[in-house]
Amino acid sequence: MGKSLVIVESPAKARTINKFLGKDYTVLASVGHIKDLPKSKLGVDIEKEFEPHYEIIKGKSNTIKELKQAGKKADRIYLAPDPDREGEAIAWHIAEEVDKKREKSLRVLFNEITEKAVREAIEHPTVLDEHKVDAQQARRVLDRLVGYQVSPILWDKVRRGLSAGRVQSVAVRLICDREREIQAFVPKEYWSITAEFEGRGGEPGFSAKLAKKDGRKIELNNEKETKEVLTELKDAEFRVSEVETKEVKRNPTAPFTTSKLQQEASRKLGFSAKKTMMLAQQLYEGVDIGEEGPVGLISYMRTDSTRISNEAIEAARAFIKGKWGADYLPGKPNIYKSKKKTQDAHEAIRPTYFKYPPESVKKYLSKDQWKLYQLIWNRFIACQMSPALIDQTRAQIAAKNYTFNASGSTVKFQGFMAVYVEGVDVEEEKEEKLPPLKKEDMLKLAGLTPSQHFTQPPPRYTEASLVKELEEKGIGRPSTYATILSTIQEREYVQKEKNQLKPTELGFMVTDLLIQSFPEILDVAFTAHMEEELDMIEEGKMQWRNTMKEFYGPFKESLEKAKKDMKNVKAEETPTDIACEKCGKMMVIKWGRKGKFLACSGYPECKNTKDFIVNEEGRVVPVERVEEMTETACPKCGKPMVVKSGRFGRFLACSDYPDCKTTLPLTTGIPCPNDDGGMLVERRTKRGRVFYSCSRYPKCDYATWELPKKAEAEA
C-alpha cells in the first residue's frame, strides 16, 4: 500500500496533524486559497449565468506543482481544509488541480486537531459538499459584483482607492445612523435625591434613592422641584416600611460561539475582532508545547453552535470536581440551546485537552495567545459549573408621603462566578451591601443629597457591540466580522476613539451617496435576507445562479443610474466670500483626501489651501494649521522639532525648515517590546492605516497595529 496524502491550508496545522498520522501519510499545506477571482478585472461572466473565472493566485504555482507531484504518488488524497464554506471551496479548488476526476480524493473534517479526532476523520471520510461550495461561490460572486462595480463609481465621483461592499457598507451605515442619533439627541434635565443613613452597632451606613410620592413614581425635572421636596423632608422621620430578601439563582453563560468570543475578547482584553480570530486560528492549528511538539489547544473557532460533545462535558466535570469539589458541580450537565438558524455541524469553542490548564502552558504561548486561551478555558469550565446563589434584598423606606428604595446583594455561593463572569458593553450600577433591616425599623438620616443629571444619547458602537448588532440583525456571518471591521477602518470610513467607532466625514459622505443610489444594498433587512438565501443554497434549497439573476436585474439598473446621477463630489466647489491672501481671488470649499478644505479658485496658478471651521452662525472661518512644538531637538541644528502630517502620516520636522530639512519618525515614548533599545514610532501603510514599529528598523522588525501600554511593553 502506498502513502496517503493529506492536504490542509496551514503549515502549522500540517505539523500538528503529521505528528498523529506517522510514516504512511504525507501532510502538505496549500497555505490558504490556491485559486481566486482575478484582482485586475471582474472575473464573472454575467452573460453566461454568472460563471466565475478563477485564476491561480500569484506565487502559488510551486505549491500546486508540489501538491500534484505528491498526489500522483499517493493511493488516497484526503482534502482537509477547515470545516466551513471557505474550507470547502479551498478543498474544491485543490481537487480540481490535484485530482480532477475525483478518483482518489476524499473530504475529511476536523472539528479539533487531536489524535482521536484526526484518526476518526481519516477513518470516516466523506465527499466534497457541492452545496457548501455553491454557497461560498454565491457569496464570492455577489461580493465581487457589488465591490467591483460600485467602487469605480466612487473613484470617479469622490476619490480613487475607495471601496463599497455588500456587508461592509451596511456596517458603516449602522455606525453613521448611530452617530446621527447622537448628534440629534437633546439632553433632558432631571434630578435625583439620595438619602444617606448612618449604620448601627458597627454596621456600615447605606443609601436609598427617592422613588415615589403618594405611592406614585416621582419625577424631578429641575432644581426648583427638587428643593421643594427637600424642604418637605426637612423634619421627616425615616422608617423601614417594607423589606424583602430572596435567594436569586444566576446561571452560567453558554460556551463561546465565534461572535461571542469576538465580543468578550474586545470587552475584556481590548482585542480587535481581527486579532482575536488570528490568535484563535493559531491555538486551533497547533502551538509548540515543549517536547510534545505542536498541540491544537482549542476546537474549531468558526461556529455559531453552543453544542458540546459528551466527552468534553465529562472531562470538564471531572476537572471541576477535582479542583473545586462536588458543590461546584451540578447534578446533571448544563446543556445550552443554539439559535434556530444555527449551523450545528461544529461544537462551541472549547479547550481540546484538559491536561493543559492555562497556567501549565503559559511559558509556551505568546502573551496574547495565553490571554485568549485563558478566556476560552475559563468560559468553558464555568459553563459546566453550578449556578451562583445571591441573596437580594429590597427595602422601602417611608418618610412622610415619600418612599425611598434601597437594594443590595450578597453572593451566598459563588458557583461558576469563582471562574468567570461575562463582560458588559455598558457599565451597570453596582449594588451595595445592605445591613440587616426589619420592617418598622427607625433609621437615622445622615444627609439628603440632591443631584442634577441629564439624559444621555445612545452610546457609540464598540467593536463588541457592533458585532452583537450585526449578528442580531443577521448581517454577514461571524466568520466575516473581523474582515469587515478591519476594512471599514483601513478605508478611513470609521475611526476608533477611546475604543468607540466613530464615522469620519468620508464615511458619512460615501454612506449618503450609496443610500441615495443603491437603497437596497444599504438596506439592513435586504442584506439579512441575502444571508438567509446563502444559507438556503448551502442546504440545497436554492440554486445559486437563480439567486444571482434575481439580485442582478435591479442592481444593474441602479448601477446605470448611479453612473449618471450620483453627485460628483470631486468636481464640486462651494463658493465662499473669503479672499485668498496670496492672489486675491475668492476661495472655494473642495473635497480632498482628509475631508473638506479651502482652496484658491485660481488653481492651478495659485495652490493656496487652508483648513476651516463653520462657526455658530454657520459662517465659514479659515483656521491656521498650527504646528505642534515638541521638546525634541533637531540632531543637526539643535532647533526644536515640530509635528507635521505627510502622505504617510505624522512625523517630526525641524522648525527651521526650509533651511534645515531634517525629519524623524514620531516616537510614542514606549520602548520596543523586543528590548533592543529602540522606541515604538508611528508610521502609516500606503493605504494610510497607522501602525507602530521599532525606531531601529531594519535592525529590529517588530511591528504592531495596536499600540501596547507603556507598562505592558516594559514588562
Q: Based on the fold, state whether residues 49 and 160 are members of the same structural domain.
A: no
Q: Please state the φ and ψ torsions of residue 88, each to the nearest 5 degrees.
A: -65, -40
Determine how many CB atoms are found less than 10 A away from the CB of residue 706: 12
Q: Based on the fold, state whether residues 523 and 634 are members of the same structural domain.
A: no
Q: Which of 522, 61, 95, 475 is nearest to 259 (CA)?
A: 475
Residue 659 pLDDT class (50, 70, 90 cuts)? confident
Q: Based on the fold, state whether residues 266 and 281 are members of the same structural domain.
A: yes
Q: Based on the fold, state whether residues 600 and 518 are members of the same structural domain.
A: no
193 bridge partner residues: 450
Q: Write the DSSP string, 338-363.
A: PPTT--TTS--B-BS-TT--HHHHGG
Q: Based on the fold, state whether residues 220 and 272 are members of the same structural domain.
A: no
Q: Based on the fold, state whether residues 325 and 425 are members of the same structural domain.
A: no
C-alpha cell at 496: 476608533
- Distance CA(415)–CA(250), nearest Å, equals 9
Given 25, 284, 300, 402, the catalytic residue: 300
Q: How far apart are the first and last CA of the chain?
A: 55
- Maximum average pLDDT range among 103-107, 158-162, 433-437: 103-107
Strand locations in 156-235, DSSP E? 189-197, 206-213, 216-217
Mean pLDDT on 476-481: 88
Range(s) of the domain holding residue 479: 137-184+460-565
Q: Based on the fold, state whether residues 97 and 151 are members of the same structural domain.
A: no
Determine how many CB atoms are found less than 10 A away from the CB of residue 633: 12
The share of the chain scoring above pLDDT 90, in percent, equals 73
- In the annotation, is 420 catalytic? no
- Side chain identity, residue 551: F
Mean pLDDT on 413-435: 83
Q: What is the pLDDT of residues 297-354, one digit of tens each?
A: 999 999 989 999 999 999 999 999 999 999 999 999 999 987 755 454 678 999 999 9
Lowest mean pLDDT among 172-181, 370-379, 446-455, 598-607: 598-607
Among 81, 97, 128, the domain-final residue is 128
Q: Based on the fold, state whether residues 200 and 275 are members of the same structural domain.
A: no
Alpha helices in 539-591 (DSSP H): 544-565
pLDDT surpasses 90 at 547: yes
Q: Write the DSSP string, 71-123.
A: HHH-SEEEE-S-SSHHHHHHHHHHHHHH-TT-SSEEE---SS-SHHHHHHHHH
Domain count, the chain: 6
pLDDT surpasses 90 at 148: yes
Q: Which residues contact 193 (CB under 8 A, 6 or more apart)?
A: 209, 210, 220, 226, 229, 230, 233, 448, 449, 450, 451
Q: Based on the fold, state whether residues 274 and 373 are members of the same structural domain.
A: yes
3 state DSSP class of 416: helix
243 bridge partner residues: 395
Mean pLDDT on 488-497: 90
Alpha helices in 217-309 (DSSP H): 223-232, 258-264, 273-285
Residue 136 pLDDT class (50, 70, 90 cuts)? very high
3 state DSSP class of 315: helix
- Distance CA(333)–CA(312), nearest Å, equals 11
pLDDT surpasses 50 at 715: no
The CATH number linked to 196 is 2.70.20.10
Average pLDDT, the chain: 90
The CATH number linked to 76 is 3.40.50.140
- Taking the CA atoms of the chain, what radius of gyration do you get in angstroms? 31
Q: For position 711, what pLDDT does the model report?
A: 44
User: Between vectors from CA 380 to CA 18 and to CA 347, what angle results, nearest 5°?
Assistant: 55
β-pairing verdict for 287-288 and 294-295: antiparallel
Among 565, 584, 613, the domain-final residue is 565
Q: Based on the fold, state whether residues 472 and 551 are members of the same structural domain.
A: yes
C-alpha cell at 428: 451597570
The CATH number linked to 299 is 1.10.290.10
User: Cβ distance 411 to 390 under 8 Å?
Assistant: yes
Q: Based on the fold, state whether residues 15 and 105 are members of the same structural domain.
A: yes
Q: For position 222, what pLDDT does the model report?
A: 97
Q: Based on the fold, state whether residues 578 and 672 are members of the same structural domain.
A: no
Among 546, 565, 584, the domain-final residue is 565
Q: For position 714, what pLDDT does the model report?
A: 45
Residue 592 pLDDT class (50, 70, 90 cuts)? confident
Lowest mean pLDDT among 81-95, 385-399, 426-440, 497-511: 426-440
Distances (CA, A) of 464 to 270, 424, 607: 10, 10, 44
Mean pLDDT on 362-382: 97
Q: Which H helix or E strand runs over 65?
A: helix 61-73
Residue for grid cell 479672499 = 579
Q: Which residues contact 42 (CB under 8 A, 6 or more apart)?
A: 144, 145, 148, 149
β-pairing verdict for 609-614 and 620-623: antiparallel
- Distance CA(239)–CA(198), nearest Å, equals 13
